[in-house]
Structure 1
């Protein structure tokens, strides 16, 4: 499996053991890393390499965010990166606010925030992966404070199996920090 980390995260894939398929032909990513995973899967298809599965964990889906709000996010990051990231991690943790993620945190660069906010999920790319035989799995937390999961779920379910998981947020953990097995399997 090839795994891509989320914005401001590193080595966090252990948090998603319940969801990740460790197979040799799997590409996976969390949040910003889900965007990177999609791009990597497309590159591998273009090179004629085998990809069995693409796993998108809380994919960073900001296609609905207007440009003014994106500029505001970037300005807040530039003004005070530390405060911005504290608030970001708090939103990512919700509702599992007691979960200690300090060992998974890293300082992101400005260009990474710009990339994540301006990435556009293209239907044609996802369709091409689907037509190439790639199984696409999408995991979204119903209580996510970063991504509009209802909108993301509606978008992604056209291309694979999209799970809208009840009682969890961006990190796919419930309030006590445990993994959650309650999935709304919608295709």
Structure 2
């Protein structure tokens, strides 16, 4: 199993332990890590390497957000990286108490990629048709992404698990 972390995060996979398929043929990603995971799956398939399952936990889905929102996020990050990450982390845990997370030194280019990434229906269809089981997990109380819009987008290609009282980390308390 390979796990890709969310923006600025590391070792947060413990929060998804009850959902992760631990097979060595599984690739997982949380939030921004979902973008990295899908790129890895496409590379594996190009190289004819086996992948059975792609798991996307609260995938970073911002293609429904306007340019102003995205630019505001970038300006906030540039202006005060530490404050931006502190607020971002609080929003990930909202409405529940914040738990401990480790952070990486991610950069502005990764934030831009996260905000401007366009999920491609044709790519997802090709991945599914190649025999990869796509699983998407969403929390209904997620304050980072619009779960209803993400749900509608991914439902065509994936087995979808929508957790009623869960936040971005899929925690319920």
TM-score range, shorter chain: over 0.9
Which moved further from structure 2: 116-125 or 88-97? 88-97
- 1:1-187 to structure 2, matched below 5 A, reads 1-101=1-101, 104-175=102-173
Deviation (angstroms), 1:98: 4.0
Whether the 8 Å contact between 1:95 and 1:173 is mirrored in structure 2 is: no
The TM-score with structure 2 as length reference comes to 0.97
Distance 1:14 1:82 in 2: 23
RMSD: 0.9
Distance 2:154 2:2 in 1: 21
The TM-score with structure 1 as length reference comes to 0.90
Q: Deviations over 1:108-160 (max 9, x none)?
A: 21111011001110001100000000000000000000000010011101001
Q: Between the two structures, name the one with larger relative contact order (CA 8 Å, sep ≥ 6).
A: 2
Unaligned runs of 5+ in 2: none
Distance 2:47 2:98 in 1: 43
Aligned length: 173
Unaligned runs of 5+ in 1: 176-187
